[in-house]
Every structure is written in structure tokens, then in C-alpha cells.
Amino acid sequence: MNPLAKPFVQFFTSLRVTVILLALSLVLVFLATLDQVNLGVWAVQQKYFRSLFVMVHVPGTPVSVPVFPGGYLIGGLLLVNLAAAHAYRFRLGWRKAGIWLAHLGLILLLLGELFTGLLQRDGVMRLDQGATKNYSESALKTELAILDTTDPKFDSVVAIPESALQAMGTLQHPALPFTVRTVLYFPNSVLQMRSRIPNAAPSPADQGFGPELVALPEKITYKPDEQNTPTVFVELTGAEGRIGTWLVSTLLVEPQTFSYQGRSWSLALRPTRYYQPFSISLIKFSHDRYAGTDIPKNFSSRVRLRSEDGRVDREVLIYMNNPLRYGGLTFYQAGFENNDRTSILQVVRNPSWAMPYASCALIALGLVIQFGIHLAGFFRKRAAAAAAIP
């Protein structure tokens, strides 16, 4: 072996590293559980588990420093450790088949969580009775949607994620004849009518609804029953110069429209949309209660599923624990509102959803085989010992 690689290999195949990593992951889970009080489950997942390092903000500075290895680092190192131990230490052979299978299952389990973290996408589809949608919306992310609405049949959409606006830079896209610059960004805010706050500072916005409104920053909320409502002031600049500054906010329900170079445009900050090549219509939402009480018994949505190519057109009943799986997405009955006339479906894309099942099956199979081999050996020995007795 290359003498340079030797300490590296020794480190990664070391059982001591395995134990240290497992101990670190215990501490990580403990710390994250404590911090869940402050951050809520979503932010904790991102900060502690779906990160290489747990970063802590240094008060008074814009700097964050790593204070603890994150879930991806610990999990990744465990994975490398496990793979390296197999590559260097274990030997292939029938007698070890069970151990191999169990470890393969463990590796799959780790990879499954990695893929889930990277590929899973959660969204919400909110459908009024009779309404049809071909997109779901993110519950956590927002985007600035700039629509060219000139075509009578189609809208050309340029969607800028909030994270790109947050960088406060100037953004350009080939589909837009102007640049977009973030003037002011509030991750959470409230809006007030300017007439109610006579002493408010002048608005950076000079177009649309903005001049009549005052945006007030709010503390970012992590509470599970609250939602951040960002407000952004964006300045659009074309080839001939500045077009104007707009206030966009998820608090504004309606998009703001303007004309530029003979085309009609509309601007809105909205939950990030995920379009899909099929549509879902809500035929009926049912909310059954136990007789004489308000205690919910069952929620269900009868929906019509239609694919764009017309090959699929069928009715589906979605209810608790009976989701609709179609096109790589899973639609769960999640809630309702509006006097039982609006159904809320949780829409999950997780291409690796089957991996935990497969890995658990592999681990179980591996253990059965391994113990089976030992048991068979034990019986053989006993039979041999019995035969040896004169």
C-alpha cells in the first residue's frame, strides 16, 4: 500500500472512529432536541441534521462559526467508515454472508436518509370544491414570480427563489428584458396602510400598491402554527434606465401589473410552485364526525386525476393513511378549511421512499442468515458431541 495512504486508510477503517462518530451523533440528537424548543422541527432538521456543520451566529457580527459536526458530516463519515472497514477488513465468504447483508442494509439506510434530505420536496395543494390545479406550493419557500402575460393563452414565468433575492444583488435572466435588484428585504413583516401611520418613512416603492403601504419588519418565527410573511422591495431596470420599484409581499393576494416595451407583466411574491404534468380536481371533500359530537371521524377528498397527455382520467378517493401515489408524487389528506369546502393535500416527492423499507428487509434477512448459520453450526456440534459419547 502507498505509505501516504496508510494513515488515511487506518483512520477510516478504525473501529474507534466508529464509536466516536456514534457518540457524536448521540450528542447531536440531544442538542437538536433541546433546540427544537427555539427553532421548531423544520429549522432544527436543517441546522443540525441536513448540514455539514452546526453553525452558530456570533452576536454583533454577520459571521457564523461551526461549533459541532452536522448530520451530513457524521453520517457521511460513518458511511465511509463502514465501507472502508468492509473493503479492508472483512473477507468475502459464505460464513459471513449474513454480516455482509446486514451491513449492506445499514449502508442503504444511511444513503436513503441522504437522498431523502437532498431529493425530498414537500408541498401543499389547496383545492376548493370544483377547482383544478396542476401545481403544488411549498409551505416554507417563497419565490418572486415575474409573469409575461401578453400571450392570451400562456403566461411565461420567471421564478426567482427568495434565497436569491435575499443575497441583495442584481439578478438577470435571458427571459427578462430588465434586471431585478433587491432594495430591501424583510424575511418576516406586516403591512399597514400608510394613512394609518402618518409618520412612517417614505416608501422605497414608487409603483403598484407599494406607495400606499408601510412594511414593518417582524422577528422571524419558528413556531409551528405561524408562518413568515416576507416583503421585498425590488427595483426593475431596463435598457433605457430604471423602470420603478415595487413592494412585493406574500401578504398581497393579488399580483401587481405593469407594461414595459409593449408587453404586459405581473409581479407577485408567492409560495414556490411546483408544476406537474397532470391536474387534480376536487370533486368533493367529506368531513364525517361521530354522531352528536364534533369529534372528527374521517376526512376524505374525492378527486379527479387527469394527465396532460389524456391517457389518465380517473377518480380517486384520498383519505387518512390512503394517499394517492402518482407521477412520483404522494398526495396525503392533510387538512381542510373554509367550512369544509377547501381540502388541503400534502404533496410529497421522495424518490428514495422505498430505500428504508429495502434496507430494513436486508438487515433482517442478514441477521436471520447469520444467526441461522450459527444455529446450524451449534446443532452440528451437539450432534457430533452426542455421537462421540461411547
Partner 1 sequence: MASHCRLRLILLLTAGLLLAGCGDSRISAYRVPKEAPFTPPSAARSGASAPAIRWQTPPGWQEQAGDGVRQASFVVAGADGAQADMSVITFPGDVGGDLANVNRWRGQVQLPPIGEPELPKSLERVAGPAGEFLVVDLLSDGPVPEGGRRVRLFGAILKQPAQTWFFKLMGEADLVASQRNAFLGFLQSVRFTPGAGEPPVATPERIANTNDLPASARGVPAAGSLAQGGLPPGHPPIDGASVAPDMAAQPVATAAGQALVWTAPSDWTPKAGSAMRKGSYAVSGPEGAADLSITAFPGDVGGDLANVNRWRGQLQLPPVAALEGSAETLEVNGLRLLVFDAGNGGSRILGAIVPRPGETWFFKLTGPDALVARAKPAFLEFLHTVRAP
Q: Interaction with partner 1 in 153-192: which residues (CB under 8 A)?
A: 153-161, 163-164, 171, 173-175, 188-192
By CB under 8 A, tell whether 44 contacts partner 1: no
C-alpha to C-alpha distance for 69 and 375, rounded to whole angstroms: 41
Give phi and psi for 322, each to the nearest 5: -135, 75
Grid cell, residue 118, equals 437532498
Of 36, 26, 24, 374, nearest to 223 by C-alpha is 36
Cα(196)–Cα(207) distance, integer angstroms: 20
Q: Which of 245, 276, 301, 333 binds partner 1 (CB under 8 A)?
A: 333
Binding part of the chain for partner 1, among 16-24, 61-69, 334-342, 349-357 by CB under 8 A, reads 334-342
Question: In the chain, what is the greatest distance between 2 CA atoms, to the nearest angstrom?
Answer: 108
219 DSSP 8-state letter: P
**Grid coordinates belonging to 158:** 420567471
Q: Establish if 264 lies at the interface with partner 1 (CB under 8 A).
A: no
Binding mask 224-263 for partner 1 (x = CB under 8 A): xxxxxx--------------------xxxxxx--------
Is 51 near partner 1 (CB under 8 A)? yes
What DSSP string describes 253-307? -SPEEEEETTEEEEEEEEEEEEEEEEEEEEEEEEEEE-TTS--EEEEEEEEEEEE
Nearest distance in Å: CB 225, partner 1: 4
**Interface pick for partner 1 out of 24, 39, 55, 124 (rule CB under 8 A):** 124
Regarding 24 and contact with partner 1 (CB under 8 A), the answer is no
User: Does 130 contact partner 1 by CB under 8 A?
Assistant: yes
Contacts of 7 (CB under 8 A, 6+ apart): none
Q: Which residues contact 23 (CB under 8 A, 6 or more apart)?
A: none
Asked if residue 327 binds partner 1 (CB under 8 A), the reply is: no
Does residue 317 interact with partner 1 by CB under 8 A?
no
Binding to partner 1, residues 358-387 (CB under 8 A) = none
Determine if 14 is a binding residue for partner 1 (CB under 8 A): no
The region of 54-62, 220-228, 322-330, 367-375 touching partner 1 under the rule CB under 8 A is 220-228
